[in-house]
Structure 1
Amino acid sequence: MKIATYNVNGINGRLPVLLQWLKEAQQDIVCLQELKAPQERFPVKEINAAGYQAIWKGQKSWNGVAILAKDLEITEVQSALPGDSKDLQSRYIEAIIDQMVICCLYLPNGNPYPGPKFDYKLDWIKRLKKRTNQLIKMELPALLIGDFNIIPEPVDVYKPERWENDALYRTEVRKAYRELLNKGWLDSIRKLYPDETVYTFWDYLYKAYDRNAGIRLDHILLSPYLHSSLQSGGVDSHVRGWTKSSDHAPVWIQLEK
């Protein structure tokens, strides 16, 4: 069972890149973030033609999340993170696929720090922790998948000293990420590559990709039930180098099923 996450940074504008990668990678489950398309403009026909079923929650110009599955039934659980009925941003969608809970998330960026956007990020994380605690208590096979907009540790960023007051690297959000791990969620890529430099995002500016001046923002976390199923994983960093590609690269894992 191959499972991946990919912040596409505009699904319609980068649809050829997405379809090329889907054909190449042949993932079983894919979580997408930053669709930047309203609900009715999700390219469902093209996704279906590529062999995938899909559920999605769009938003005009910003945000947006989707879950794709090849030859697997998708049962939607919810299309918003519980805890704030006034929050209309499309950042979370949850489904059951092959008896696993798939939580696709696009956690808020939070910049500039300090400010209301950072406060919103911290509140969103609190709500996420509440939901993830429920999943742990229910002892379900679950995955938290997506663009967390959190750089967990200094090893996950090129020149970390430059990021100390950035909302992606602030002490508060890194602490929250560690608390998820302490509750039993496994950072699959860091488990597989404990000491290596692994990035998932390279800015478009300053030839960041060419210099490998990146950061690790995109994560796949496994609930305790799935720890022993982890076999392999990685980052398809070459996709970042394709023409008109997203500034993120796809991240994937292989589970024994």
Structure 2
Amino acid sequence: MKCLCESYESFLRLDELKHDRGICLSLAVFPNNAILRKRLIYWWMGEGLVRHEEEGERVFQELLDLELLIPHDKCPRWLATLKTLAVLQLGHWQVSPTHHIAVRDESFLKGLKTQKLLKYLSLRGISRITSLPDSIRELASLEILNLKACHNLETLPAAIASLKKLTHLDVSECYLLESLPTGLDKLTSLQILKGFIIRSSQKTPIRIWHLRSLKNLKRLSIHIGSEATIQGEEFEKLKESA
């Protein structure tokens, strides 16, 4: 508590807190610059400082508003300092229920735009990534993009079509992904494509026959949705280009 009240401004912010001062005492347990997780809320619940998780969320936000907690957003800045990064493995090497990675949001991906030399990027199995930023087009050297089992991924930006050196793209087990972006057929260096999506014609702007321009494609796996509409001639067109 002494550390929290060292300055007059800090003392004023503590007085603005609408909840039990015991919450501030719980913060005093941690050293300066400690990284706190939201599971701190369960401690407050156990001590009777908040009644339920939703109230704990509100208190956590109040502490952020009073600047008694500072958002931990150093990851984009950290990535921006790595000028010669070639390989970045942020996700799992293997996906299993005992190994779970979740992020608050995808804002940490903003730091990727400076990685002109990055060749390999894996976000495999990371939860709560709903989309990739358009700035992914800046990864001019990217050859391998592994998004397997990013279960919250809903969209891929059309900017992926700018990754002319991309040889491997894995979006398998991304079950919320409605379709792949148009322009995918422009990735003429692509050799491995896992998780190509076929749904209804309205939800699948890029069809299987569009891939016939990918002359270097060696391996293709397809996810067929329950409402998928497939015409036989689509595969015939693909066969004709083989």
Q: TM-score, normalised by structure 2?
A: 0.26
Between structures 1 and 2, the one with greater strand share: 1
Higher RCO (C-alpha under 8 Å, 6+ residues apart): 1
